Chains A and B, each alone.
Chain A
Amino acid sequence: MPNRRPIRGTEVKKNTEFGAPSPLALFVDRVQAVVVDAFLLAFGGLMVELLVLAFSGRRGATGLLLTAEKILDLLHYGWMAAVAVVLALIWNAAHVPLGTSPGRAMVFGLTEEEKDLPWSQTTVGWFVAILIQLTFFTGWLITELDLMDFLTKFSKAADILRGLMHPQASILHQGSVLLVQTIFLAFMATAFAIPVAFVLSFPSARNLTRGTFIARTAYIVARTLMNFVRAVEPLVWALIFISWVGIGPFAGVLALWVHSVAALTKLYSEQIESIDNGPMDAIMATGASTLQVLRYGVVPQVIPPFLSFTIYRWDINVRMSTIIGFVGGGGIGYILKPRVDLGEWGEVGTLVLLIAATVWVMDIVSAKIRERIV
């Protein structure tokens, strides 16, 4: 009988060969914990200072109470950062008597004793709770929430609402024509986005890009590019393309196209990441090449969800194309903006109704089609 010495089997999750972390890795972890703590402490400190200044009754040069914006100018950012770093270092060094700091908890986890306690009995718990409270109060000041304004000054808005309730037929024809343009604008942007997003989604999928160095690089490049493109709002893209190809629906198409490519790439690649690997393995095992594996093992699995996402995207693009005209990107927004500026609320009402009806119909149609596909 062969020997049956105990070996590392299924139950042993962390292999000892990989057990103790290197000193460098430990150092990096510790720095991470301190940085997180310093950031949180500085953030908390600044919020406390802001609240103190706001309620101290101090007045500015004009004799008026300080506004939140002005206070933001006055805060001692450098000092707070310095103090926070020192405090964070102390807290991390003395984490045993003081209780685990949030940064430490994030990097190393809570200690065994603290894990079993309710949040109200741990230092981290209290720290986070107070931080959330502070953020809420500070947010109230910074965004200048004012319940009194909200409750007492409705009459002006009532004029607009009254206008909207009495749509005027005079603009119905022009509005309808531009509405058609809007829908086609959205359609073209979506249609052109499909092939580009389709191709880009493969290098953007983590599960397909682990193999080689080239694949990993392609993943990082594709992901970074798409994240950047998606981070820029379609309205900003519209401004860019207006200066490129001039005012009009084409600029709108390009703006929505760029944004749709990025959004669809993300949706598509996430879908690819969630496929069943089995068919891929099976096709690979037959000796098929990479393209064949993608064609047979991946594509059939993702086509229906891709279609569904694409229709959903068209739906979104119709909505977006109504406002892309605000900045000159064509479509119904192009005539809506001047009427808002002139206060012709009756005509605005007509246009808003047209848009609402379209979006509503698109919503139903896209939901129906997607139901069929999946």
Chain B
Amino acid sequence: MTGGTAAAVEVRDLGMVYPGGIRALESVSFEVKEGEFLAVLGLSGSGKSTLLRCINRLLDPTEGTVHIFGEEVTALRGSALRRLRCRIAMIFQQFNLVKRQTVLTNVLSGALGRSRLLPSLMVSFPQAERERAVAALERVGLPGRADSRADALSGGQQQRVAVARALMQEPQLILADEPVASLDPALRHSVMRHIESLNREEGLTVLCSLHDIDLVTRYATRLIALRDGQLVWQGSPSNFDQKTFKEIYGQDAEPASNSGY
């Protein structure tokens, strides 16, 4: 692979069977180019979370391979795996902040992968990292909230702290698992815009599962759709029409909003 056209993520024949015997993914293959904003669509239970978690190996896929910037992540273990995870930030539907810690500590935890072990266990970080964390908080529009406890913030604010934590990681790739699904619709863009700016301004590759068609057409540069663990569609948002919608969500489904797709 050469230069700018290198695939940031290359998924080949990915399959996942959970220990209980439930098959969540079946031979899923696709590529994400560097700098793309890829939306992952699919009904609840179609395997979106499973797919994203297989990419940074929070889950071990049972079949197939994942390459990230040419490196096979499915073969990595131990410290090599941790080094790879440092380059991939993840944003979760439930924010997953450490609730009883301060906002600043939560942001700083994005730097754990490159921190020295003993000081980090005592929650002590170098001045440079602290400044970086404060800057990240400013960037997501939360200056001055550094010393609040994380659970004192509203949902939208918590998710922006999670974005700051991702920023702190200085990643090359962002995995976002329904980042705005548990937020008030009015607040969704406030979080999505920050993820978008990471994509547009820093050139980070983004993989983001979404189920709101409006958001997909507004932010994604390309999209893939899962159904029952299989990849059933991929293309650009402009090719996404009523017919495709029914293919993905079933004949009885109606788009949640009446604005265009």
Residues of chain A touching chain B, judged by Cβ–Cβ distance below 8 Å, are 1-2, 4, 7-10, 12-15, 17-18, 278-279, 281-289, 291-292, 295-297, 300-301, 303-304
Task: Count residues of chain B with CB under 8 A from any CB of chain A.
Answer: 51
Q: How far is the CA of A13 from the CA of B20 in the complex (A)?
A: 8
Given A283-B109, A286-B169, A300-B101, decide whether A278 and B94 contact each other with a Cβ distance below 8 A.
yes
Would B82 and A288 count as touching, CB distance under 8 A? yes
Given A9-B45, A14-B21, decide whether A282 and B97 contact each other with a Cβ distance below 8 A.
yes
Say yes or no for B92: interface residue by CB 8 A criterion: yes
Please name the residue on chain B nearest to A16 by beta carbon. Answer: B21
Q: Top 6 closest A-B pairs, CB basis? A: A287-B113, A287-B86, A9-B228, A15-B21, A278-B96, A287-B85
Contact code string B53-67 (vs A, CB < 8 Å = 1, else 0): 000101000000000
Which residues does chain B contribute within 8 Å of A1, judged by CB atoms?
Answer: 232-233, 247
Would A286 and B113 count as touching, CB distance under 8 A? yes
Would B23 and A15 count as touching, CB distance under 8 A? yes
Contact code string B85-98 (vs A, CB < 8 Å = 1, else 0): 11111101011111
Would A291 and B113 count as touching, CB distance under 8 A? no
Which residues does chain B contribute within 8 Å of A292, judged by CB atoms?
Answer: 112, 115, 117, 120-121
- In chain B, residues 108-123, which have Cβ atoms closer than 8 Å to a Cβ of chain A? 109-115, 117, 120-121, 123
Would B96 and A7 count as touching, CB distance under 8 A? no
Q: How far is the CA of A285 from the CA of B171 in the complex (A)?
A: 11
Q: How far is the CA of A306 from the CA of B26 in the complex (A)?
A: 43
Nearest CB in chain B: distance from A63 CB, A: 66
Please name the residue on chain B nearest to A293 by beta carbon. Answer: B112
Would A13 and B22 count as touching, CB distance under 8 A? yes
Q: How far is the CA of A146 from the CA of B148 in the complex (A)?
A: 66
Which residues does chain A contribute within 8 Å of B86, judged by CB atoms?
Answer: 286-287
**Given A2, A284, A303, which contacts B58 in the complex, CB threshold below 8 Å?**
A284
Nearest CB in chain A: distance from B59 CB, A: 10
Would B98 and A7 count as touching, CB distance under 8 A? no
Would A7 and B26 count as touching, CB distance under 8 A? yes
Given A9-B228, A12-B22, A15-B17, decide whether A291 and B84 contact each other with a Cβ distance below 8 A.
no
Q: Residue among A8, A281, A287 with the most chain B CB within 10 A?
A: A287
Q: How far is the CA of A53 from the CA of B98 in the complex (A)?
A: 66
Q: How far is the CA of A288 from the CA of B90 in the complex (A)?
A: 13
Given contacts A285-B56, A292-B115, A303-B100, 14 further A-B contacts (CB under 8 A): A1-B232, A2-B231, A9-B46, A10-B228, A15-B21, A279-B99, A281-B58, A281-B92, A284-B58, A285-B88, A286-B113, A287-B113, A301-B100, A304-B100
**Given B82, B94, B96, B232, which contacts A289 in the complex, CB threshold below 8 Å?**
B82
**Given A2, A13, A285, which contacts B233 in the complex, CB threshold below 8 Å?**
A2
Which residues does chain B contribute within 8 Å of A300, judged by CB atoms?
Answer: 98-101
Contact code string B220-236 (vs A, CB < 8 Å = 1, else 0): 00000001111111000
Please name the residue on chain B nearest to A295 by beta carbon. Answer: B121
Q: Residue among A4, A10, A286, A301 with the most chain B CB within 10 A?
A: A286
Say yes or no for B165: interface residue by CB 8 A criterion: yes
Q: How far is the CA of A342 from the CA of B82 in the complex (A)?
A: 70
Q: How far is the CA of A287 from the CA of B88 in the complex (A)?
A: 8
**Given B21, B45, B109, which contacts A17 in the complex, CB threshold below 8 Å?**
B21
Would B45 and A10 count as touching, CB distance under 8 A? yes
Nearest CB in chain A: distance from B136 CB, A: 13
Would B23 and A282 count as touching, CB distance under 8 A? no
Please name the residue on chain B nearest to A11 by beta carbon. Answer: B45
19 A/B residue pairs, CB under 8 Å, sorted by A: A1-B232, A2-B230, A7-B228, A7-B229, A9-B45, A9-B229, A10-B228, A13-B20, A13-B22, A17-B21, A18-B21, A281-B96, A285-B58, A285-B88, A287-B87, A288-B112, A289-B117, A297-B98, A300-B99
Q: How far is the CA of A9 from the CA of B22 in the complex (A)?
A: 8
Nearest CB in chain B: distance from A284 CB, A: 6
Q: How far is the CA of A15 from the CA of B23 in the complex (A)?
A: 8
Given A14-B21, A17-B21, A18-B21, decide whether A286 and B98 contact each other with a Cβ distance below 8 A.
no
Would B89 and A285 count as touching, CB distance under 8 A? yes
Nearest CB in chain B: distance from A160 CB, A: 52
Q: How far is the CA of A359 from the CA of B146 in the complex (A)?
A: 44
**Given B20, B90, B247, which contacts A282 in the complex, CB threshold below 8 Å?**
B90
Say yes or no for B218: interface residue by CB 8 A criterion: no
Would A287 and B98 count as touching, CB distance under 8 A? no
Say yes or no for B83: interface residue by CB 8 A criterion: yes
Q: Residue among B21, B58, B101 with the most chain A CB within 10 A?
A: B21
Q: How far is the CA of A340 from the CA of B56 in the complex (A)?
A: 68
Q: How far is the CA of A13 from the CA of B228 in the complex (A)?
A: 13
Nearest CB in chain A: distance from B164 CB, A: 12
**Given B83, B162, B231, which contacts A287 in the complex, CB threshold below 8 Å?**
B83
Which residues does chain B contribute within 8 Å of A17, judged by CB atoms?
Answer: 17, 21
Nearest CB in chain A: distance from B105 CB, A: 8
Q: How far is the CA of A287 from the CA of B109 in the complex (A)?
A: 10
Which residues does chain A contribute within 8 Å of B88, judged by CB atoms?
Answer: 285
Which residues does chain A contribute within 8 Å of B96, judged by CB atoms?
Answer: 278-279, 281-282
Q: How far is the CA of A210 from the CA of B100 in the complex (A)?
A: 26
**Given A9, A13, A18, A286, which contacts B165 in the complex, CB threshold below 8 Å?**
A286
Would A287 and B84 count as touching, CB distance under 8 A? yes
Q: How far is the CA of A9 from the CA of B231 in the complex (A)?
A: 13
Given A282-B92, A296-B98, decide whether A4 and B21 contact each other with a Cβ distance below 8 A.
no
Q: How far is the CA of A15 from the CA of B18 in the complex (A)?
A: 10
**Given B45, B46, B92, B110, which contacts A286 in the complex, CB threshold below 8 Å?**
B110
Q: Residue among A2, A13, A17, A304 with the most chain B CB within 10 A?
A: A2
Given A278-B92, A279-B96, A282-B96, decide whether A7 and B23 contact each other with a Cβ distance below 8 A.
yes
Q: How far is the CA of A254 from the CA of B251 in the complex (A)?
A: 70
Which residues does chain A contribute within 8 Å of B169, judged by CB atoms?
Answer: 286-287
Would B117 and A291 count as touching, CB distance under 8 A? yes
